[in-house]
Amino acid sequence: MKLFTRRDFFSCGVQAGAGLAMLARAAASPAGRVCKMKFGFTSYQWGSEWDIPTMIANLTRAKAFSTELRTSAKYAHGVELTLNAEQRREVKKQFADSPILLVGLAIVERLDSPDPARLNQQIESAKAYVKLSQDVGGHGIRVVPNDFHPEVPHEKTIEQISRALNALGKFAAGYGQRIRLENHGTAGDLVTLRKVMEGVDQRNVGIKLNGEMVDAADFAQRFEGVKKYLDDTLHFHELGRGDFPYQLQCDLLIDEGWEGWWQLEASSQVPDRLQATIAQRELWEAMVAKSLARP
C-alpha cells in the first residue's frame, strides 16, 4: 500500500536550501541515481511538548513534511483513544489543512507475551488504535515484536508474533491502514523479523527499520534478507551520534528505489528542539547527497 498522495511533491528535490543544491548536483551524477525518500518526524521525544498547531508550524519550518504521533505517553498533541468523534475529526482537519502528512500512530502495544490473556489484550488495544488512526487521517500503526522470554522457545514466540500480525493486518485492511512492525527489542533484530514475516500473509504488514545496533555489524546482509518486507516508513535516531551505519542504509535504500519516509525519532537533550530538527534534516540531506554521488 502506497501512502503518498497530494504530498508526493515533498521529495528530496524540493527540500530547499543548501541541501537542495547538493541533491541537485548529486542527482546529475553519471551514476543516474535518484532519491525517492523523504524526511519526516516522530513525536518521541522532541515533539512531546508540541500541541498539534505547534507541531504543524514547527515541522513546516523544519521542512519535515510528515509526522507520526506517539501514544500512551500524555504528550501535548493528545491523540489518544479517549478522543471523541468530534475531536478526532478536528485532528484530521488540522493535518488535512496543513502541508504535514500524518503517517500514523506509534503505539506501544507488543506481541511477545506468553500470557494468552495479555496477548489478546494487546491485540484488541491495537485494533482500537487502527480505528483511531483512520479517524484522525493516519495511514497505519507502529507495533513492536518485542522480546524473547526465557521459558519460551524462540520459534514459538516467532510463530505467535506472525499470527498476531496476520490478525491485525486483516483487521487493519478493512480500515485502509498499515501495520508497521518496528525493528525493536530482543525479538526485533532483522534476522528474527525475516522469520516473523515469512509467516505473515497480509500485504499491509511491513517491517519498520529502527537503526538497532544488533544489526549494525552485518547490516548489508541483514537488509538483503528483509528488503522485500519493508514498510513505507522507518525510524532513525540522531545522525552524528552513535555508530549505526546510516550512510550504508541510505545507500541501500536508494539503490532499491525505496520511496518512504525517514521519521526522526530523537531523544537527546538539546536547547532548541526545532533548531535541532532543522540540523538533523540538513545532516540527512548531506547523507543523501553523498549516497547519490557515489561513483
Residue 276, number of CB atoms within 10 A of its CB:
18
Cis omega (within 30 of 0) on the bond before 122? no
Does the pTM surpass 0.85? The reply is: yes
Q: Residues with Cβ < 8 Å from 238, sequence gap 6 or more?
A: 264, 266, 268, 280
Q: Look up residue 26 and give its amino acid.
A: A
Sheet of 261-266: strands edge to edge?
205-208, 178-182, 140-144, 101-110, 66-70, 38-45, 261-266, 233-236
Phi, psi of 200 (to 5 degrees): -105, 130
Question: What does the alpha-carbon distance between residue 114 and residue 292 come to, in Å, rounded to a whole number?
Answer: 45
∠ CA 207-49-266, rounded to 5°: 40
∠ CA 170-176-180, rounded to 5°: 65
Q: What is the pLDDT along the chain (295 residues), one digit of tens a residue?
A: 444 443 443 444 444 344 444 554 444 454 789 999 999 999 999 999 999 999 999 999 999 999 999 999 999 999 999 999 999 999 999 999 999 999 999 999 999 999 999 999 999 999 999 999 999 999 999 999 999 999 999 999 999 999 999 999 999 999 999 999 999 999 999 999 999 999 999 999 999 999 999 999 999 999 999 999 999 999 999 999 889 999 999 999 999 999 999 999 999 999 999 999 999 999 999 999 999 999 9
Q: Look up residue 179 and give its amino acid.
A: I
Could you list the beta-strand ranges (E) of 81-170.
101-110, 140-144
What's the sign of the alpha-carbon dihedral 225, 67, 239, 143? negative
Using the structure block, give the residue that is written with the C-alpha cell 506509534: 106
Helices (H) and strands (E) in the chain, counts: 9, 8
Could you list the beta-strand ranges (E) of 33-176.
38-45, 66-70, 101-110, 140-144
Question: What does the alpha-carbon distance between residue 234 and residue 260 come to, in Å, rounded to a whole number?
Answer: 8
